Structure 1
Amino acid sequence: MSSNIVWHQASIAKEERHNKNKHQSFILWFTGLSASGKSSVANAFARTLFDRGAQSFVLDGDNVRHGLNSDLGFGEEDRKENIRRIGEVSKLFVESGQIVLTAFISPYRADRDLVRSLVGENEFLEVYVKCSVEECEKRDPKGLYKKARNEEIKNFTGISAPYEEPLHPEIILDTEKHSVEECVKQLTKALIERGLI
């Protein structure tokens, strides 16, 4: 980093934004296999937060790759850079007083831990959207598993590339056993118990 770059202190503190919004700001990091239900749960929960008057925003893996990360592929290094960038964007949302919901496969523990290290204690909650490869492959809404099996897609998580399950996630949502609505209820309860919303 250049020595000519100096951090400019904001005129509005994060705590002031918390007071105005009447809730804390933090990252809900949804991780899981493709088709596990990360985006579905994140977006449904964002609606719940909105209806409660909370400031939130969803960063979705596919959507971000249309713009900010359109220059990245799916090899290991590009995946790491994808998550690093999203981590930095998420940190900005936390500073702005918002709840940011990120729906990314984010297959590597080290990358998720890096994002956790960017923010303060209790500002990062890892949400493991648990669903077996077999079930995700049955769902396959985008036809990606079929393409991966036919070797049309290389480095596909769960098939030809690894997924490292979270070791100690703050929240586990089992979408193989529970509906989106049930998962939203579980999330709401967990965050209320933590005093975050």
Structure 2
Amino acid sequence: MSPKQQRGEETAGRLLDAALRLYAEAGEQGITVSALTRASGVSLGSLYHHFGSVDGLLNALLVRWLGRLLEALGAAIAGCGTARSGVQALIGGYFTFVREHPDAARLLHSAYADRQGMADTRRLRDAQEARLSPLAEWLHGRVAAGELAPLPAPLLEALIMGPVVAVARRWVSGLDDVDLDEAAAVLPDRIWSSVGRS
């Protein structure tokens, strides 16, 4: 990588880091051009050069953290010998990520992320294909081995991750009615009863 490319990546990284801090402080409405340039120390021209717009920056931030979450989930199931241990690892890995990266988790579970997901699902999935592949292959392999119910992958994904995402949403919203440790202890057996083959 040339020095110019390295400087460009560092500048883009500073903008992304500043955007996450601003999001944590004031939500989507806190991410303005002036707030970004002030918080990052990066010029207005650099912001537009790297991301095209504030929305482009927010979208890149979402893609960045979605990728990191998917990497964490892929790592969580990498050493699992059974579907049941894999389901438990996915749940634990998701909650660990949420706990360790609460600001990013708020973004990933936000109305902005929902809007982007609805408006541009295919592009978001395509951008994460390399990170999604290990998870899809794991699901397919467990179904083929007869460990998971023979359901289409989107339904298995919904049954496994739907309750996990719902709990994470409640937790990142600041509600005091859910405990991630309790959820990590209770959900694996409940989810397994809906997806496992006895």
TM-score between both structures, scaled by the size of structure 2:
0.28
Q: Which structure has more RCO (C-alpha within 8 Å, separation ≥ 6)?
A: 1
Greater C-alpha Rg = 2
Going by fraction, where is strand more abundant, 1 or 2? Answer: 1
Going by fraction, where is helix more abundant, 1 or 2? Answer: 2
TM-score between both structures, scaled by the size of structure 1:
0.28
